Amino acid sequence: MKKKLCVLLACSMLLTLLAACGESGAGSSAPPAGSSTQPTQSGGVDTPNSEKKEGGRLTISAATPTTRAWYDIRGIMAIAMFGYIYEPLARYGSDGSPEPFLAQSITPDADALTWTIVLRDGIQFSDGSPCDAEAVAWNLDYYKENGVLKDSFFKFYDHAEATDGKTVVCHFTQWDSLFDYSLCRTVLIASKKAFDEKGAEWLAQNPVGTGPFVEAEFNADVSWIFDRNDNYWQGKVLLDGVDMVYYQQELVAAQALKTGDIDAMLTETYSLVEQLSGYGDTTGKPAQLPSYYYTLCFNMKEGDPFANEKVRKAVSHAIDVDAIVDTLTFGYAVKTNQWAPESSPFYNKDTTGQAYDVEQAKQLLAEAGYADGFDTMITCSNATTVVNVCQVIAEQLSAIGINVQIRPIEGAAFVNYIGGWESGMFLHQMGAEAGAASQYASTFYQYEGFGLGVNAFEIPDELHQITTAITSAQTEEERNAKTQEVAEKVVDEYCMIKVIFGSQAITFVRNDVRDFHYADVQNLRADLWACWLDR
């Protein structure tokens, strides 16, 4: 199998190279009920102010977003990327736990069913209007009605109340122990003044936030251009602006980095990391948090072979995860069988997954009535690493008679398949920074809305009860225990998912870019207000 993997990888890399030549660790515990999350600053400044230089533009290779509507941004990485313009009330810290950002503190009260948010002083939107309690309360309530993830993360939120100029009290219909986690990945704070004066449609195309830059120009699938925000609350922004340029092929972007046409790029294509590491004028660094858990999900609806638990377990046994990680990720990936690394309080050490065992896989298939195998498919994004992983899984499953067709989906269309992929399997890159508690609680319960597998998974009543107990937990210990219990249920008992590995983003930046806090903590997080160019 190792030999086949190497051949497959070599072919994949060759195809990527030919295409290019034709072109020009995770969440930790939140504070228990009754305590207050205290503010911390991420991305500290490394250079004394007297030595910094002002001016110049920074160019980064990155894809442009499919939407700029502040309430319609769903992915954790997209939330992080929008930090150029839009900022959240809280962000994930280097250990994956929530830290206040626009907020000075975020304090839970389980008995009163409230979370109280106190804002920092002196924050303005780029249009000069204040980011005060009234504006924040409006943003929270607007998201409750219109937010793309409102059904998953705002299901118990009722309304916000501005009790003074900087204090917002959020009221809930039931207790939500994960609200501070949700604030890190949902509500980007937009200008209420811009909304009131120009309307939702205008604001969706002309973002106005509190971030260090303002949008100057947007060209879908080409570039996203930002100029300095002179009203930025953390102090003077040194760069004149940032140009985000999209390259369809990463190898072309890598060449642009080498020649100095761009200043930085981020990649999770690990074969490319080896090449970029040899560039003399650049430095590579990994993000502090994993980016995604590559997760194989099964369509459990009646009529699909994967509706049978034995089939799901057979497939899981037939996948050699160690071979995939060692061969395709060059050792950069995090090995785990669940949505948490071993260092996380959410990690269940007793969850084993289904160990690689081809004979056991064949036996389970025969017991399920599929001794001769069957035809199926894997739906996935068209990202290079994702397709490579699917190709190896397909090769491994052929050993037990399962013939797998790979269906890669391009660009923005991929999001349409997250809720349900019609049949077979779905390789999902589950965002890692949100923490296992938040991800399990927003996935494995009975609801109607938008979310992973909402139209493909079958959620037993028992699992629903355990999952919802994560959110309603009154103590940190109770919440962690329920999270670990869900992990055992969905991985071991029901085998609804098979976690392949956790990925890690590697950023490469030219050495004359200083205080560059881009993707320090997580993939695409743009902490660039202190960045400057030594050129």
Instruction: Please tell me the predicted confidence (pLDDT) of residue 37.
Output: 39
List helix spans (H) across 93-186: 133-146, 150-153, 179-183
Tell me the pLDDT band of 526, cut-offs 50, 70 and 90.
Answer: very high
Token pair for 59: 């160019």
* % the chain with pLDDT above 70: 92
* Ranges 15-29, 315-329, 380-394: which has the least confidence: 15-29
Q: What is the mean pLDDT of residues 254-263?
A: 95
In this structure, are strands 506-510 and 403-409 parallel, antiparallel, or unpaired? unpaired
Query: How far is 228 from 529, CA to CA, in rounded Å?
Result: 9
322: helix, strand or coil: helix
Instruction: Please tell me the predicted confidence (pLDDT) of residue 50.
Output: 80
pLDDT 10s digits, 274-293 = 888 878 899 999 998 888 99
* Ranges 21-30, 139-148, 355-364, 407-416: which has the least confidence: 21-30
Strand order in the sheet with 114-119: 103-109, 114-119, 167-172, 157-164
Q: What is the CA radius of gyration of the chain?
A: 23
Find where tokens 């007793």 sit: 350
Angle between helices 321-328 and 384-397 (to 10 degrees): 140
**477 or 10: whose pLDDT is higher?**
477
C-alpha angle 376-378-380 in degrees, rounded to nearest 5:
160
- Please check whether residue 517 is in contact with residue 72, taking contact to mean a CB–CB distance below 8 angstroms: no
**2 or 249: whose pLDDT is higher?**
249
Task: Please name the helix (run of DSSP H) or strand (run of DSSP E) that holds residue 242, with its range, or none.
Answer: strand 241-245
Instruction: Report the half-sphere exposure of 471 (CA within 13 A, side-chain side).
Output: 26
Give all strands (DSSP E) within 42-164, no chain letters.
Answer: 57-61, 90-92, 98-100, 103-109, 114-119, 157-164
Tell me the pLDDT band of 23, cut-offs 50, 70 and 90.
Answer: very low
pLDDT 10s digits, 482-515 = 999 999 999 999 999 999 999 989 999 999 999 9
Q: What are phi and psi of 37, to 5 degrees?
A: -70, 125
* pLDDT surpasses 50 at 434: yes
Tell me the pLDDT band of 25, cut-offs 50, 70 and 90.
Answer: very low
134: alpha, beta or left, given left = phi > 0 and alpha = psi -120 to 50? alpha
Q: What is the mean pLDDT of residues 434-456?
A: 90
Query: How far is 502 from 339, CA to CA, in rounded Å?
Result: 8
Query: How far is 452 from 445, CA to CA, in rounded Å?
Result: 11
Exposed, middle or buried, 303 (CB in 10 Å: 0-12/13-18/19+)?
exposed
Query: How far is 382 from 404, CA to CA, in rounded Å?
Result: 16
pTM above 0.85, yes or no: no
Query: How far is 186 from 467, CA to CA, in rounded Å?
Result: 20
Query: How far is 369 from 359, CA to CA, in rounded Å?
Result: 16
Query: How far is 245 from 221, CA to CA, in rounded Å?
Result: 9
Token pair for 204: 């969706």
* pLDDT surpasses 70 at 3: no
Tell me the pLDDT band of 411, cut-offs 50, 70 and 90.
Answer: confident
C-alpha angle 142-146-150 in degrees, rounded to nearest 5:
100
* pLDDT surpasses 90 at 361: yes
- Please check whether residue 181 is in contact with residue 431, taking contact to mean a CB–CB distance below 8 angstroms: no
Longest dimension (CA), the chain: 74
Q: What is the mean pLDDT of residues 86-105?
A: 93
pLDDT 10s digits, 202-251 = 999 999 999 999 999 999 999 999 999 999 999 999 999 999 999 999 99
Token pair for 399: 């050993």
Tell me the pLDDT band of 74, cut-offs 50, 70 and 90.
Answer: confident
* % the chain with pLDDT above 90: 76
**Arithmetic mean of pLDDT over the chain:** 89
- Map 247-286 to HEC letters: CCCHHHHHHHHHHCCCCEEEECCHHHHHHHCCCCCEEEEE
* Ranges 14-18, 64-68, 155-159: which has the least confidence: 14-18
* pLDDT surpasses 50 at 42: no
Angle between helices 2-21 and 384-397 (to 10 degrees): 150
Q: What is the mean pLDDT of residues 308-333?
A: 94
Instruction: Please tell me the predicted confidence (pLDDT) of residue 254.
Output: 94
Task: Please name the helix (run of DSSP H) or strand (run of DSSP E) that holds residue 6, with its range, or none.
Answer: helix 2-21
Query: How far is 49 from 97, CA to CA, in rounded Å?
Result: 30
Most confident of 49-58, 249-258, 354-363, 448-457: 354-363
pLDDT 10s digits, 138-193 = 999 999 999 999 988 999 999 999 999 999 999 999 999 999 999 999 999 999 99
* CA proximity to 442, closest of 458, 433, 427, 453: 453
Find where tokens 């068209």 sit: 382
Give per-residue burial for 15-34: e unless 16+ CB within 10 Å, then b: ebeeebeeeebbbbbbbbbe
Tell me the pLDDT band of 450, cut-offs 50, 70 and 90.
Answer: confident
Task: Please name the helix (run of DSSP H) or strand (run of DSSP E) that holds residue 508, with its range, or none.
Answer: strand 506-510
- Please check whether residue 126 is in contact with residue 214, taking contact to mean a CB–CB distance below 8 angstroms: yes
pLDDT 10s digits, 454-484 = 999 999 999 999 999 999 999 889 999 999 9
